[in-house]
């Protein structure tokens, strides 16, 4: 396939002035009439034709200025429309008619139907599946949209912008017209038609304008949209308070649909959501679901400024809107909840998803320089590392200059299709700092490593910290330049206080070392006693730290760190180190190491009620098997890791049985509230219940919790302990059956039932997943179902998926090929679960390779899947 290159950017030959779209909705034959006014860009020769994008389109008719033209003057193929001999400079109008079949559009891109609702998904290249157009983000224009439908087929007819008017036609048909005054690229276009339930509210903006807020859901589900509405109002207020950004239309609409390839989509004034991220009530949603809804509602809303008002010049700049908007939604959630607990969750996620991506065959820069299929670049690197890069800009500039830079960006680029260079220039100007070296974070792939060593001189009372950076080669980048790495640090003195003196040897300000050379030594003098370094506090830079730190020093940090995140980091490093050593021993079939010290620290943290419960829950959650595997890095045996981790869990559980038994009963009583404090208490009680059950070695406690649960958080926690710790027990069988029958009519809740089973450790789970896939009630076409079963198994079950005989890999390979025929985007995404296959031990590596080859040789593959499989095998 074609390789797109960042350096090939060129503006279009023609400029679009406006577009008028008319849709006559029909499940099998929707008629789309697109009238576009264009003119030739100055300096473009008259011999240059107009070439528009299409994808699986057929042209019904073409008019120029209302007249038919000779067939020799244009060529229409499924993926392009070329028109020759157009006016030299005067504007002209083209009228393009296409017919679509939303019902049979299984790719969920363009116009499709889900549960009887017409909806569109245009990012990144879905608009070209609707009509021939310049489907690229640097072509901005104003849209007028008229939708016509049978009233009983589509009662609500929605599009972007403000409502112009509507009315009835004969034969039970009606129409609605919308106008969006804000010029936008085609990927932000949206249309929805259907008979939906509606939840309404209003928001008064900072300048006093009243905005109508509407959330559309399936009939009967209206009460489950209340939390999403509340999150929306808080998001609107937050963007005003923190960035001075006001909403800019009379109406803001959200539609929840059940078939959706991603989480949600920020179409101008008409967000479309995966219903999983809208619907919640205590009986059907767990605490984590509420937190996700809050974050995603905020994320899509924040795109109104970072993404929509200022969009991307081309798809290489995707992180310009995504990294920045993730950064903004993180800050929002931190303000709404506990900031340190939120940051800990972010660090966990970054390490679990982005670090492995950066260390494997799919590694790419935050701003990629080439792609074959842009859909494969909606990645943890673009989103999460992209957000970390923005966070580093704030760390380097300080809060005030960062805000000045953002203000300048909004002011200077409103209405633009911008680039990363534009963005960085605003911060450089606002702060007077040179960000040239820093910009490498956008162009160099891979996670930098920083090795840290220190030297204490007792007689001179000096302390030296030496930092050295390195960055391993990644696909297509064999040589790397030195980066600017901002490392927040603290020097913790023997008495637990912090040393405040400034070092020499390099730039260091406000507790941040600026590592800009390969190796730098920062020297402190007049230090009263040997300090312990706490480095990369709060994860100020997304790097791997290599430092020989004794368990005593780590314990010193975890006791005295003033910063909660750094405290957790020390604890987590300590636990990781222990688990890695234990896994290595298990791999060699040797005796397991006693976890005495680690158990003591964890138990002390568990019962320290000066700490917030959510923090204690995070501390008690040992590094996952995948975290241990990543740390080991090569020749991985997932079974040995599992054995070692289970042994440590059991030892901690037995040592702290009393504490865990008490805490297991500490969940808040009374009516459920999704707030962060209550969720934190439930998290601590839940993990304590799990430890207590392990210590008791019976399923009774978890089964009792399951029976008594009056909310989904506790119910799902209990079911997970049963299924993962006591597989095959009568209690587990009973609970699984109860859950299945109770929620048989609620697909989003059943997704939890699938995931919990798919993540049950052990080789047998593979057969269970096959069995569930074969069930006649399992809907293979719904992305949420597939992710909850196949995605949970492949990404969340290291021992089951990496079964030594390769059955897990073969299961995934078969599913990928099957799904690829319907929904390439989903297939490609599921396949990325194999991205770390080369770090496995040789036997599993060979099985994984064979499975990848079976996909490659399966015949007709989509561009999405063949791109991934080829990069993984390269």
- Stretch of 297-305, 481-489, 560-568, 844-852 lying at the interface with ligand HT7 (CB under 6 A): 297-305
Q: Is 123 in the site for ligand HT7 (CB under 6 A)?
A: yes
Q: Which of 320, 472, 336 is nearest to 383 (CA)?
A: 320
On whether the CB atoms of residues 711 and 282 are closer than 8 A, the answer is: yes
Burial 712-732, CB ≥16 within 10 A → b, else e: bbbbbbbbbbbbbbbbebebb
Burial 369-392 (b: 16+ CB within 10 A, else e): eebbbbbbbbbbbbbbbbbbbbbb
- Comparing CB distances to ligand HT7, the nearer of 542 and 824 is 824
Is the Cα torsion angle 825, 829, 834, 836 positive or negative in sign?
Answer: positive
Binding mask 769-808 vs ligand HT7 (x if CB under 6 A, - otherwise)? ----------------------------------------
- Neighbour tally for 458: CB within 10 Å: 8
Residue 737 makes CB contacts below 8 A (sequence gap 6+) with none
How large is the C-alpha radius of gyration of the chain? 28
Cα–Cα distance measured from residue 33 to residue 300, given in angstroms and rounded to the nearest whole number:
29
SS (H, E, C) 756-780: HHHCCCCCCHHHHHHHHHHCCCCCC
Site string for ligand HT7, 336-375 (x = CB under 6 A): ---------------------------------------x
The entry of ligand HT7, Zn ion, none near residue 469 (CB within 5 to 8 angstroms by kind) is none
> Where on the phi/psi map is residue 156: left (φ > 0), alpha (ψ -120 to 50), or beta?
beta
Question: 252: closest CA among 294, 297, 296?
Answer: 297
In the bound complex, what is the minimum distance in angstroms from residue 231's beta carbon to ligand HT7? 15
For 508, list phi and psi in degrees, rounded to 5.
Answer: -145, 120
C-alpha 329: how far from its chain's center?
Answer: 11
- Which x/- pattern, by CB under 6 A, does the window 372-411 give for ligand HT7? ---x--x---------------------------------
Among 113, 299, 353, 537, binds ligand HT7 (CB under 6 A): 299
Binding span for ligand HT7 by CB under 6 A among 259-267, 281-289, 591-599, 614-622: 259-267
Among 30, 235, 261, 836, binds ligand HT7 (CB under 6 A): 261
Sign of the dihedral defined by the CA atoms of residues 690, 693, 697, 703, in that order: negative
Least Å distance, CB 325 to Zn ion, is: 5
Give min distance, CB of 121 to ligand HT7, in A: 5
Strands annotated E in 429-576 = 449-457, 462-470, 485-492, 508-509, 512-515, 519-524, 532-535, 544-547
Task: Name the binder of 536 from Zn ion, ligand HT7, none, CB < 5-8 A by kind.
Answer: none
Stretch that binds Zn ion, among 242-250, 319-327, 533-541, 577-585 (CB under 5 A): 319-327
- The widest CA-to-CA distance across the chain, in whole angstroms, is 96
Minimum CB separation of residue 786 from ligand HT7 in Å reads 15
* 37 half-sphere exposure, CB direction, 13 A CA radius: 9
Q: Does 820 bind ligand HT7 (CB under 6 A)?
A: no
Q: Residue 835's closest CA among 329, 269, 211, 357?
A: 357
* Binding partner at 262 among Zn ion, ligand HT7, none, C-beta below 5 to 8 Å by kind: ligand HT7
Q: Which is nearer to ligand HT7, 303 or 835 (CB)?
A: 303
121/431 with CB nearer ligand HT7: 121
Q: Is 631 a catalytic residue?
A: no
For Zn ion, the closer CB: 259 or 266: 266
Distances (CA, A) of 718 to 32, 281, 744, 788: 51, 18, 19, 18
Site for Zn ion in 322-341 (CB under 5 A): 322, 325
Shortest Å, Cβ 634 to ligand HT7: 33
Nearer to ligand HT7, 420 or 465 (CB): 420
Q: Which residues pair with 166 in a beta bridge?
A: 176
Binding-site partner at residue 123 among Zn ion, ligand HT7, none, CB < 5 to 8 Å by type: ligand HT7
C-beta closer to ligand HT7: residue 138 or 266: 266
432 conformational bin, left if phi > 0, alpha if psi -120 to 50, beta if neither: left
- Shortest reach from residue 215's CB to ligand HT7, in Å: 17
Q: Which of 218, 300, 373, 631 is catalytic?
A: 300
Taking CB under 6 A as the binding criterion, the range among 59-67, 295-303, 594-602, 806-814 that sits at the site for ligand HT7 is: 295-303
Q: Which of ligand HT7, Zn ion, none is residue 114 near (CB under 5 to 8 Å by kind)?
A: none
Stretch near ligand HT7 under the rule CB under 6 A, chosen from 299-307, 330-338, 357-365, 705-713: 299-307
According to DSSP, residue 624 is labeled P
Nearer to Zn ion, 306 or 765 (CB): 306
Can you tell me whether residue 642 is helix, strand or coil? Answer: helix
Size of the site for Zn ion (CB under 5 A): 2
Q: Which stretch binds ligand HT7 (CB under 6 A): 158-166, 195-203, 258-266, 492-500?
A: 258-266
- Closest-approach residue to ligand HT7 (CB): 262
Q: Is 708 exposed, middle or buried (0-12, 13-18, 19+ CB in 10 A)?
A: exposed
DSSP run (H or E) holding 142: strand 141-150
Among 38, 192, 196, 262, which residue sits at the site for ligand HT7 (rule: CB under 6 A)? 262
Q: How far is the CB of 322 from ligand HT7 (least distance, A)?
A: 5
Report if residue 121 touches ligand HT7, rule: CB under 6 A: yes
Q: Work out the angle between the directed axes of helices 420-431 and 399-413 (0-180°, nearest 10).
A: 130
Q: List the interface residues with ligand HT7, window 303-322 (CB under 6 A).
A: 303, 322
Looking at the Cβ atoms of 262 and 515, the one nearer to ligand HT7 is: 262
* Structure tokens given for 486: 């901002």
Q: Considering the complex, what minimum distance in angstroms separates the CB of residue 375 from ligand HT7?
A: 5
Shortest separation between residue 262's beta carbon and ligand HT7, angstroms: 4
In angstroms, give the least distance from the CB of 87 to ligand HT7: 36
C-beta of 310 vs 773, nearer to ligand HT7: 310
Span of 201-209, 260-268, 463-471, 527-535 interacting with ligand HT7 by CB under 6 A:
260-268
Closest distance to ligand HT7 from the beta carbon of 318 (Å): 8
Tell me which stretch binds ligand HT7 (CB under 6 A): 263-271, 399-407, 659-667, 750-758: 263-271
Specify the residue for token string 């009238």. 35
Report what 393 binds from Zn ion, ligand HT7, none; CB cut-off 5-8 Å by kind: none
Where do we find the tokens 């299924």?
723
Q: Nearest-CA neighbor of 311 among 299, 321, 319?
A: 321
Cβ nearer to ligand HT7, comparing 139 with 297: 297
Q: Which is nearer to Zn ion, 381 or 549 (CB)?
A: 381
Q: What is the DSSP string of 647-689?
A: HHHHHHHHHTHHHHHHHHT-SPPSS---SHHHHHHHHHHHHHH
Q: How far is CA 717 from CA 281, 294, 497, 775, in A?
A: 17, 21, 39, 25
Task: Give the separation between CA 486 and CA 441, rounded to whole angstroms.
Answer: 12
Interacting span for ligand HT7 (CB under 6 A) from 54-62, 296-304, 480-488, 746-754: 296-304
> Using CB under 6 A as the criterion, which residues of the chain lie in contact with ligand HT7 when the complex forms?
121, 123-124, 261-262, 264-266, 299-300, 303, 322, 375, 378, 825
Give the catalytic positions in this structure.
300
> Using CB under 5 A as the criterion, which residues of the chain lie in contact with Zn ion when the complex forms?
322, 325
């Amino acid at each position: 396939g074609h390789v797109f290159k960042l350096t090939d950017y060129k503006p279009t030959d023609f400029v679009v002035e406006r577009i008028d779209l008319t849709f006559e909705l029909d499940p099998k034959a929707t008629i789309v009439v697109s009238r576009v006014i264009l003119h030739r860009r100055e300096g473009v020769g008259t011999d240059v034709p107009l070439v528009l994008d299409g994808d699986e389109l057929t042209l019904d008719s073409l008019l120029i200025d209302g007249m038919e033209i000779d067939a020799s003057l244009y060529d229409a193929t499924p993926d392009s429309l070329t028109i020759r001999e157009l006016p030299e400079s005067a504007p002209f109008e083209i009228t393009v008619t296409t017919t679509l079949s939303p019902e049979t559009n299984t790719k969920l891109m363009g116009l499709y139907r889900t549960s009887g609702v017409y909806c569109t998904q245009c990012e990144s290249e879905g608009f070209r599946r609707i009509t021939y157009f310049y489907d690229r983000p640097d072509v901005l224009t104003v849209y007028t949209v008229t939708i016509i439908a049978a009233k009983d087929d589509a009662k609500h007819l929605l599009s972007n912008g403000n409502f112009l008017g509507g009315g009835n036609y004969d034969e039970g048909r009606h129409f609605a017209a919308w106008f969006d005054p804000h010029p936008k690229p085609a990927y932000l276009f949206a249309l929805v038609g259907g008979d939906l339930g509606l939840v309404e509210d209003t928001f008064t903006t900072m300048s006093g304008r009243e905005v109508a807020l509407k959330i559309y859901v399936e009939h009967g589900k209206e009460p489950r949209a209340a939390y999403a509405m509340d999150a929306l109002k808080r998001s609107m207020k937050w963007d005003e308070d923190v960035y001075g950004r006001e909403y800019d239309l009379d109406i803001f609409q959200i539609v929840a649909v059940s078939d959706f390839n991603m989480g949600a989509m920020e179409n101008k004034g008409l967000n479309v959501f995966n219903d999983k991220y809208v619907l919640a009530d205590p009986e059907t949603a767990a605490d984590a679901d509420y937190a996700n809804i809050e974050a995603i509602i905020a994320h899509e809303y924040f795109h109104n400024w970072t993404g929509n008002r200022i969009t991307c010049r081309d798809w290489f700049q995707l992180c310009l809107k995504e990294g920045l908007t993730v950064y903004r939604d993180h800050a929002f959630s931190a303000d709404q909840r506990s900031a340190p607990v939120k940051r800990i969750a972010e660090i966990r996620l970054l390490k679990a998803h982005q670090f492995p991506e950066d260390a494997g065959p799919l590694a790419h820069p935050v701003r990629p320089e080439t792609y074959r299929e842009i859909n494969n670049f909606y990645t943890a690197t673009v989103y999460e590392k992209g957000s970390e890069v923005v966070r580093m800009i704030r760390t380097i500039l300080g809060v005030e200059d960062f805000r000045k830079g953002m203000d300048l960006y909004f002011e200077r680029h409103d209405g633009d299709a911008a680039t990363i260079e534009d963005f960085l220039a605003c911060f450089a100007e606002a702060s007077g700092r040179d960000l040239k070296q820093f910009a490498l974070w956008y162009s160099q792939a891979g996670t930098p490593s920083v090795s840290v060593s220190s030297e204490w001189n007792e007689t001179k009372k000096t302390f030296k910290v030496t930092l050295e950076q390195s960055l391993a080669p990644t696909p297509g980048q064999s040589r790397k330049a030195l980066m600017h790495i901002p490392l927040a640090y603290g020097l913790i003195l023997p008495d637990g206080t912090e040393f405040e003196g400034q070092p020499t040897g390099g730039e260091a300000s406000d507790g941040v070392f600026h590592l800009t050379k390969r190796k730098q030594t920062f020297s402190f003098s007049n230090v009263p006693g040997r300090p312990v370094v706490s480095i990369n506090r709060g994860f100020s830079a997304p790097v791997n730290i290599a430092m020989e730190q004794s368990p005593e020093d780590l314990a010193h940090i975890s006791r005295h760190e003033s910063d909660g995140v750094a405290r957790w980091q020390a604890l987590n490093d300590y636990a990781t180190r222990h688990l890695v050593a234990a896994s290595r021993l298990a791999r060699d079939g040797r005796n397991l190491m006693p976890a005495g010290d680690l158990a003591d620290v964890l138990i002390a943290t568990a019962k320290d009620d000066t700490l917030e419960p959510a923090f204690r829950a995070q501390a008690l959650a040992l590094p996952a098997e995948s975290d241990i595997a990543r740390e080991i890095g090569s020749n991985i045996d997932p079974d040995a890791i599992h054995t070692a981790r289970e042994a440590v869990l059991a030892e901690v559980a037995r040592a702290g049985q009393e504490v865990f038994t008490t805490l297991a009963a500490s969940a808040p009583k009374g009516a459920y509230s999704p707030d962060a404090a209550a969720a934190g208490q439930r998290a601590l009680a839940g993990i304590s219940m799990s430890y207590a059950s392990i210590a008791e070695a019976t399923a009774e406690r978890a089964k009792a919790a399951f029976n008594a649960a009056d909310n989904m958080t506790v119910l799902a926690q209990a079911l997970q302990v049963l299924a993962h710790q006591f597989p095959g027990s009568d209690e587990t069988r009973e609970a699984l059956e109860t859950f299945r029958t109770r929620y048989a009519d609620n697909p989003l809740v059943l997704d939890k039932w699938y995931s919990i089973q798919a993540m049950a450790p052990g080789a047998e789970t593979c057969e269970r997943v096959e069995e569930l896939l074969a069930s006649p009630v399992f809907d293979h076409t719904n992305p949420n179902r597939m992710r909850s079963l196949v995605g949970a198994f492949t990404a969340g079950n290291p021992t089951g998926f990496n079964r030594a005989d390769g059955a897990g890999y073969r299961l995934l390979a078969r599913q990928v090929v099957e799904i690829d025929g319907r929904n390439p985007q989903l297939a490609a995404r599921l396949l990325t679960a194999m991205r770390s296959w080369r770090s496995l031990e040789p036997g599993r590596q060979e099985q994984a390779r064979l499975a990848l080859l079976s996909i490659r040789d399966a015949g007709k593959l989509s561009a999405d899947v063949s791109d991934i499989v080829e990069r993984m095998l390269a």
